[in-house]
Structure 1
Amino acid sequence: MCGIVGLTDRDNFHLLSKMNNILFHRGPDDSGEFIDKESGFAFAMRRLAIIDIEGGKQPMSNEDNSLWVICNGEIYNSPELRKNLIKKGHIFKTKNSDVEVLLHLYKEKGTQLLQDLNGMFAFVIYDKNKGILFGARDRIGIKPFYYCYKNGKFAFSSEMKSLLILPWISKEINPESLYHYISLQFVPAPYSIFLDIKKLPAGHYFIYDLHKKELIINKYWELNVSELENKSVDEWKELIIQKLKESIKRWTLSDVPIACSLSGGLDSSTVVGILASEGFSDLRTYSLGFKSIEEQEFNELPLARKVAEKWNTDHHEVVIDAKRILNDLEKMVWHLDEPYAGGLPSWYIYEIIGEDVKVALTGTGGDELFGNYGRYKVHERGLWYKFLKAMKESILNHNFSEIKNAFRYPKGYFYWKYFSDAVKDKIIFNDYNQKYKTEAYLENIWHESGTKNPRNAVAYIDFRLQLPEEFLHVTDRFSMAHSVEARVPFLDHELVELVFKMPPAMRTGWNEPKSFFKSIIKNLLPEELWNAPKRGFILPLTLWTRKDLKFLIKESLSPDYLKKQGIFSEKVYDKIVNPHLEGKKDYTQQVWTFLMFQMWYKKYVLGD
């Protein structure tokens, strides 16, 4: 695990070290640089040493220095790949580095090597003989990859903040990204919040020609939700639990100790249960709780303790309060890179984990595999239900466009979001954003799924958007902020592909979306978890936005500030912010969305 940076701008090679050092938190153990002035390319990395501690230094080259590589992440099937390559005559100079496997596999198969990889990664290979850069992001988008391609110049980084020091990259906000963020609470790939910077989408690779100064981006994987297999329930149960066990075991590949983030929910508890039942020794678990009495409904510490007791883990807890969150918000915003209004408490889990170990397994991805809280249900409802729902929104918002958009983009309109396009166009934005439509954007992705089944189509959108650019985004940034490698075995691509071969009505249910999943892991959990409501690492934002954060909200979203800033309409305060603060309406998530953008804007655009 590490942070990687690179550029093809000779005039700014002197900035390479600075770009790299900005990512110190991603790899405090080691650093390395490679500069080829003749070809006009340089890259560097910060390393968090986890596999082959002594021999895994990067950048790494092959025998004749014609190939160089830097990689952020891990290749979990590297032991098997290495054995096969040795049989073919490849000679390795490291003991067990997974990164060196990339070099030899590239020499053997070229860009087709991607089909052989199992892991989480973002890497770049410099092929000196061909004069190209070849890089890729893992199938699910677990590891990040930002880049800028402008006037023939190409630069990349694990985090956007490193790119911003280059003088030819501007901080002009991408209006389409902002428009989508307000609805989704994150910026979807391939966009970033800045016009000059983009994100390599999950399951994509690139080739940059150093001679022609041309960039090509192609897709090498996408989630297939339309090719189903008919098997009995019992057959699926056996297949899924076996593949889940294989995935969790595979994702424990490490030369350093491993811990587990334990929320007390089904997914993280399952990871702990499988590791313990399979004989994994020295199992450490870490859980989060809340301090004040009024926040106890969000507290899963008692359930997490039950899991820890059942499996006799070395258990640790951290308790937080609103004041601590408020004090740490600015640090979180800096590490997040882009506007993000999702959950934040995992910051403290990784903080305490980082004091003990470098690697932590999480339950991220379990919800998206098995129903994601039944977000498909509205799409399975009849036409009258949807019409009445749109009519209700139209009346509440005094905006007939709600009904028009619901019929024009029915899939996109009813996909979960925090603001409809009608509200954004009427209340939130000044005129410059009228041409963008989040609902049309979501509608197009739905149709790209190739299925008419709402359960699989919604899952396809979740895997394209929310999973990589919200949940995995925050998991990467917050874990790396504390020099911890977070691993997500539920997102092993072999497991993901298998799960989505199941008939959707079997994979997830109407009354209980995770009924199938519960049936295969029930014996791994304490009885108290069997029917416990989902809580997870969730902040009590309604309480906090009306108390601890109230002054900050009024300051950054006042009509005077909004007018001076010139991005959002002044109506945002009167129609959304003030009614929430006074308790007349509950616009918790909407206010939080604006607050997190404003904090990001002050940090990244104004430089405060």
Structure 2
Amino acid sequence: MCGIAGKIYFGEGKVNLQELGPMSSKIAHRGPDDEGFYVSKDKRVGLVNRRLAIIDLSAKGHQPMRRGSLVITFNGEIYNFKELRESLEKDGNHFTSGTDTEVILTLYQKWGPKCLKFLRGMFALAIYDERQNTVFIARDRLGKKPLKYFFKNGVFIFASELKAILTQKEVSVTPDWVSISNFLTYGYVAAPETGFEEIHKLEPAHFLLIDLKKGKIRKERYWFLDYSEKLSLSEEEWVEKILDEVGQATRLRMIADVPLGAFLSGGVDSSLVVATMAGLSSKPVKTFTIGFKEEAWSEAKHAQRIAKLYRADHTTLIAEPSNVEILSELAYQYEEPFADASSVVTYMVSKLARKHVTVILNGDGGDENFAGYDRFFRVKRDASFESFLPILRTFGIPIAALLKKERIRKFLQKSKLPFSHRYVTYNSYFLNEDKEALFTPKLNNLALGTNSYKV
């Protein structure tokens, strides 16, 4: 990963390196290989980059990078950049580096904001056009790369992480109690909020176009999920298509000039990724697992079995109760309210892997794409029972209460909720009624009596 940041003055202020330096220092861990700054001639725009070199490790990949009147600071990886480069070269474009960053700049020269439709990858980026006096800021389709911003009194500040934004004198730290109330339901703060007033996340699949001539900011969504086209395939055809797509996606993500590896739990998703990597690599894949002394909770033996099957260079780290001491460090790094307990072991296995490799692949997203979580089965169940629920509730609730079948009674009670609200209760920490009992009147007032089911 890399780190990006920037500061833009709409009014009389001027950017200087004394302001940009602390922003860079706060995200140095994101890019230990290089540091770069850019300040426009009128000193109204400043850009920062901390680089973790993955492709073209030479100084030619230094950022912020210039091409003509365009200057970019970029975090991420464009997986199809080689194909895009070949197409651009056929149009007469020449390149001075082997980076995907230069490909993005060249696409923007030709297409402007529409260049995003060509990019296959994960990214957060900012491009300053000196000629047009505009700043283009964009985030990838699924929001894999972070981008947060602050805008008040003619000052716009953005960065990969909140801690960089908080170094600036214009920014104060005030809790956003509505977001915190929603966090207690979902376990995280959804975009565009961050848990702090006046600091926002740019939503996935969105861009901002800042026009300094007109003093305007335009936000636009550039991509939508489309379920309109359906496929009717046999089981064999689905197997072939899925394996082909996974193979292609894995191959593209293995393009790197640095060592790479994979997190391996032994489950279906990470095992599929490791199996695919093994088939694409001439060397043993480096794999990493966190295990526990309590075998009932440990996935280490499953991971070891897969590692042996695919002849991986496997490393296991056993978690200890004392490892909870890293919680303060996790709070600092996550920055926002976050309640996923797996973050502890994820942090541990990431530190372990970094000793051996620079890039990691994993199986995240498999359960979302293939409905692997229990809540998806509950939704399917509810849809099947939907037409019968009014009758079931009439007789079922009193009978379940009489027979002390609490689980059945709760299911029938929840069925009174709208379908979308019911789904929230299957994937939440505190329900609305829980928070009503938990909150003091003052806190409830600060949270504006938020209905988290309607976020």
TM-score normalized by structure 1? 0.67
Contact 1:74–1:98 (8 Å) recurs in 2 = yes
Query: Within 5 A, what are the aligned runs for 1:153-552?
Result: 153-291=155-293, 295-325=294-324, 327-342=325-340, 343-344=342-343, 345-379=345-379, 380-381=381-382, 382-383=385-386, 384=389, 407=416, 409-415=418-424, 416-429=427-440, 430-432=443-445, 433-441=447-455
Shift of 1:377: 2.9
Contact 2:78–2:100 (8 Å) recurs in 1 = yes
Q: Provide, for residues 295-320 of structure 1, a one-character-per-residue CA deviation record: whole Å limited to 9, x for no partner.
A: 32110111111111111111111111
Distance 1:270 1:204, change over 3 A: same
Distance 1:145 1:315, change over 3 A: same
Q: Provide, for residues 59-80 of structure 1, a one-character-per-residue CA deviation record: whole Å limited to 9, x for no partner.
A: 0001x3x100011010111111
Contact 2:15–2:46 (8 Å) recurs in 1 = no
Give the match's secondary structure for 1:28: coil
Contact 1:390–1:406 (8 Å) recurs in 2 = no
Shift of 1:365: 0.6
RMSD value, Cα: 2.5
CA–CA separation in structure 2 for the residues paired with 1:195 and 1:310 = 51
Distance 1:264 1:420, change over 3 A: same
CA–CA separation in structure 1 for the residues paired with 2:397 and 2:32 = 52
CA–CA separation in structure 1 for the residues paired with 2:405 and 2:131 = 64
The equivalent of 1:33 in structure 2 is 37
The equivalent of 1:76 in structure 2 is 79
Shift of 1:39: 5.3
CA–CA separation in structure 2 for the residues paired with 1:323 and 1:268 = 27
Contact 1:145–1:158 (8 Å) recurs in 2 = yes
Distance 1:34 1:145, change over 3 A: same
Please, which of 28, 31, 43 is the counterpart of residue 47 of structure 2? 43
Distance 1:110 1:12, change over 3 A: closer
CA–CA separation in structure 1 for the residues paired with 2:158 and 2:405 = 45
CA–CA separation in structure 1 for the residues paired with 2:223 and 2:233 = 25
Contact 1:406–1:414 (8 Å) recurs in 2 = no
Between the two proteins, the alignment pairs up a number of residues equal to 430
Q: Provide, for residues 416-439 of structure 1, a one-character-per-residue CA deviation record: whole Å limited to 9, x for no partner.
A: 211111221232353312432111
CA–CA separation in structure 2 for the residues paired with 1:98 and 1:253 = 11
Shift of 1:222: 2.2
CA–CA separation in structure 2 for the residues paired with 1:183 and 1:37 = 47
Contact 1:289–1:301 (8 Å) recurs in 2 = yes
Contact 2:14–2:44 (8 Å) recurs in 1 = no
Of residues 111-120 and 234-243 in structure 1, the stretch that sits farther from structure 2 once superposed is 234-243
CA–CA separation in structure 1 for the residues paired with 2:202 and 2:85 = 27
Q: Provide, for residues 434-455 of structure 1, a one-character-per-residue CA deviation record: whole Å limited to 9, x for no partner.
A: 43211122xxxxxxxxxxxxxx
Query: Within 5 A, what are the aligned runs for 1:55-94?
Result: 55-62=60-67, 64=68, 66-94=69-97
Shift of 1:288: 0.7
Q: Provide, for residues 116-164 of structure 1, a one-character-per-residue CA deviation record: whole Å limited to 9, x for no partner.
A: 0011110111111111111211111111000112123211000111111
CA–CA separation in structure 1 for the residues paired with 2:397 and 2:231 = 36
Give the match's secondary structure for 1:297: coil
Query: Within 5 A, what are the aligned runs for 1:593-608?
Result: none
CA–CA separation in structure 2 for the residues paired with 1:193 and 1:405 = 29
Contact 2:14–2:43 (8 Å) recurs in 1 = no
Q: Provide, for residues 486-506 of structure 1, a one-character-per-residue CA deviation record: whole Å limited to 9, x for no partner.
A: xxxxxxxxxxxxxxxxxxxxx
TM-score normalized by structure 2? 0.89
Any gaps of 5 or more consecutive residues in structure 2? none
Q: Provide, for residues 6-52 of structure 1, a one-character-per-residue CA deviation record: whole Å limited to 9, x for no partner.
A: 01144563221101110011011110000014050001111111100
Distance 1:404 1:41, change over 3 A: farther
Give 1:76's aligned amino acid. Answer: Y
Identity %: 32
In terms of fraction of residues, the more helix-rich structure is 1
Contact 1:152–1:214 (8 Å) recurs in 2 = no
Give the match's secondary structure for 2:102: helix
Distance 1:409 1:167, change over 3 A: farther
Give the match's secondary structure for 1:375: helix
CA–CA separation in structure 2 for the residues paired with 1:301 and 1:404 = 40
Of residues 126-135 and 5-14 in structure 1, the stretch that sits farther from structure 2 once superposed is 5-14
Contact 1:149–1:215 (8 Å) recurs in 2 = no
Any gaps of 5 or more consecutive residues in structure 1? 442-608
Contact 1:7–1:156 (8 Å) recurs in 2 = yes
Of residues 36-45 and 335-344 in structure 1, the stretch that sits farther from structure 2 once superposed is 36-45
Shift of 1:406: 6.1
Contact 1:146–1:197 (8 Å) recurs in 2 = yes
Distance 1:214 1:298, change over 3 A: same
Q: Provide, for residues 342-376 of structure 1, a one-character-per-residue CA deviation record: whole Å limited to 9, x for no partner.
A: 02211111111111111111111111111132412
